[in-house]
Amino acid sequence: MSAKPRRGITNDDLFALRWDRGRRDLIGPLHRLYGPDSADLLDRLRDLLKKHWRARPADLRRLDLERDLNPDWFLSENMVAYVFYIDRFAGDLKHLPSRIDYLRDLGVTYAHMMPCLKPRPGANDGGYAVMDYTAINPALGTMTDFRQSNLALRASGISPVIDMVLNHTAKEHDWAVRARAGDPFYQAFYRMFDDDTLPRQYEKTLVDVFPDQAPGSFTWYDDIGKWVWTTFNEYQWDLNWENPEVFLAVLDNILFLANRGVEVFRLDAVAFMWKRMGTTCQNLPEVHDILQALTQATRVAAPAVVHKAEAIVGPQDLVPYLGTGRHAGRVSQLAYHNNLMVQFWSTLASGDSRLMTHVLKTHFPESFRRASFAPYIRCHDDIGWAITPEDTAHIPHMDAKAHRNYLADFYNGTHPDSFAQGADFQVNADTGDRRTNGTFASLAGLENASTPDAEDKAISRIALGHALIASYGGIPLIYMGDEIGMTNDHSYLDDPARADDGRWMQRPMMDWDAAVATQGRAARIRADLSHILRVRKATPQLAGMIPTRVVDTGHRALFAYQRLGDDREVTCIVNFTDRSQTLRTADALLREVPQTDLLTGQRLITSEGRMTLARYQSVWLRPD
């Protein structure tokens, strides 16, 4: 029997318990990544985690406990994300709290502040070239302002979210500067080569990310006499994740920021973190080990925090980012659903949902273990038309390359049937592939709408997209300005640091006049979205842990899916065309009638199994 006097649990006791729990999920990936002699690494990791746990502010420790008791918090139907640039939305961090009412009004519970850590001077890829992960971009404020603003967000029930760029740092980052000065410890943080033998061999199977503005994946530096791996722009140096020092150093930064109130980290460009000769160096299995190790380590020292992986990849490659096989329930809890996004635009153009149904039904499980997608329609990046020949082979007369071309033409506005106004991006001379820029509203036809009817259709398309992401599962990401139908912004062309990057077209300054308008098209779009989000929050079947089953209606114009709630299911049907459509086999889809459409409140009693949807209408049906 222990002779110890009885006492309450201390923070160190709690740490010991958390470490014991996390250790098991850390050993496997660390062993696979860094070899069997990682005992010393494990000790150093524990010390690092303990250091941050001890420094963790009391309010955040309380949040840790809350989320330990409610680990599904981020899967709630209440969750709604808003994605914005601090300067473009609020000016700076000091002014951000004054915009919280606007976010609350919309129903936002998750505020993704686009890159806000200290970037390199000059061109910085929209902030994705960070020179100091422990400092805030001085143009936006200080670390104290950041902590204050995060406290204000949390007090309003909004989770602060920031980008964590994992694949590369700016070449001005202290690690890179030391590497460049010849320090071998820091040279091992990057991927450097004395001559071009290996780079040439790698290049054979690499895919160019920015073929226009930054061709190639390696850069030669005369002063150090080395090639450096630079997947993106020249000034973004790829980190060498084969080095455990990189793992510890990056984790140190993550936990530092977690202790300043960050609740979700958007892990940037994770697909590229591991490299192997003879592959595209994307989505390698080791990436999932890194993500598991980061997620589980964070869970020890900052349990309130979750991670969202950003991997804009094809369907087969996307699923593992939410945990499959040995990683199930252990990797990043969220991941962008870029395939839903691509299929939304594809079906909106063609009015034919067969490819969408096929892709979403065949490649994606109905649910994940303690993880879910973040569905979205637009973001700050271009749209890459991730449509594969394997998938189009299932659709009669459809060819992948031709369809990708059709979509690029449709959305740059040159196709005769197009309602869209966008632009090509990164035309790849070798493959002929093009990606697409433009805001949600411009691509949905609002910019080109010259008649009230055309405007009405565009507004309906926007509502359709918002209803889709609000009901499909996971946390819907609303991109700043989309709630008021902001169209393309061409002012970036006047700024030399941005002019060569067409993605700025979809990164406008927030139009606050339009945002507070009570009449007109911005007000309509915003009212539609607010309504959709209110209904979402009142519908527990739309929570992230509820499985999503895609259903083939046999009717091309209609895309359908069911949320398989414990008690009742919700059946969502979307008419992707500008004509009304009648589903003649509605009763095959709906086990019980009558049902009520949660969006309009209308009761549906099918007559002989028929149901008619107005143009671009979405219905969310639930048995009464």
Q: Do 311 and 335 touch, CB atoms closer than 8 A?
A: yes
Q: How many CA atoms lie within 13 A of 403 on its CB side?
A: 26
Nearer to ligand OTU, 209 or 564 (CB): 209
Q: Are the beta carbons of 59 and 160 closer than 8 angstroms?
A: no
Measured CA to CA, the distance from residue 19 to residue 220 in angstroms comes to: 43
Tokens for 525, please give them: 């779009």
Q: What is d(CA 49, CA 362) in angstroms, rounded to the nearest whole number?
A: 40
Residue 310 is among the residues annotated as catalytic for this protein: yes
By the rule CB under 6 A, 312 interacts with ligand OTU:
yes
Q: Per-residue x/- mask for ligand OTU, residues 136 to 175, rule CB under 6 A?
A: -----------------------------x----------
In the complex, what is the shortest distance from the CB of residue 270 to ligand OTU, in angstroms, rounded to a whole number?
7
Judged by CB under 6 A, does residue 268 bind ligand OTU? yes
- Quick check: 433 binds ligand OTU (CB under 6 A)? no
Q: Which stretch binds ligand OTU (CB under 6 A): 102-110, 352-360, 374-382, 608-616?
A: 374-382
Residue among 503, 502, 496, 533 at smallest CA distance from 122: 496
**Structure tokens given for 218:** 């390696």
Region of 144-152, 173-181, 378-386, 474-482 interacting with ligand OTU (CB under 6 A): 378-386
Kindly state the tokens that stand for 401: 């390359």
Min dist. Cβ of residue 233 to ligand OTU (A): 8
Decide if residue 271 touches ligand OTU (CB under 6 A).
Answer: yes
Nearest-5° Cα angle at 247, 15 to 369: 65
x-marked contacts with ligand OTU along 292-311 as a string, rule CB under 6 A = ------------------xx
500 binds ligand OTU (CB under 6 A): no
Instruction: Say whether residue 232 binds ligand OTU (CB under 6 A).
Output: yes
Does 345 sit near ligand OTU (CB under 6 A)?
no
The yes or no reply on residue 128 touching ligand OTU (CB under 6 A) is yes
- Please choose, from the candidates 413, 470, 402, the residue with its C-alpha nearest in 3D space to the C-alpha of residue 443: 413
Is residue 116 involved in binding ligand OTU (CB under 6 A)? no
Interaction residues for ligand OTU, span 379-418 (CB under 6 A): 380-382
Q: Is 269 in the site for ligand OTU (CB under 6 A)?
A: yes
Total site size for ligand OTU, rule CB under 6 A: 16
Q: Catalytic residue, from 87, 163, 268, 482: name it.
A: 268
CA distance 223 to 235: 15
Sign of the C-alpha dihedral, residues 421, 425, 429, 432? negative
The two three-digit tokens of residue 346, written as one number? 């594809």
The verdict on whether 500 is a catalytic residue reads no
CB of 229 to ligand OTU, least distance (A): 14
Q: What is the DSSP string of 261-282?
A: T--EEEEETGGGS---TTS-SS
Residue 119 as a binder of ligand OTU (CB under 6 A): the answer is no
CB atoms within 10 A of CB 94: 14
Nearest approach, Cβ of residue 126 and ligand OTU (Å): 5
Side by side, the strands of the sheet bearing 306-309 are: 372-374, 334-336, 306-309, 264-268, 159-165, 110-113, 81-84, 477-479
Assess 131 for contact with ligand OTU (CB under 6 A): no
Site residues, ligand OTU (CB under 6 A): 125-126, 128, 165, 209, 232, 268-269, 271, 310-313, 380-382
Residues marked as catalytic? 268, 310
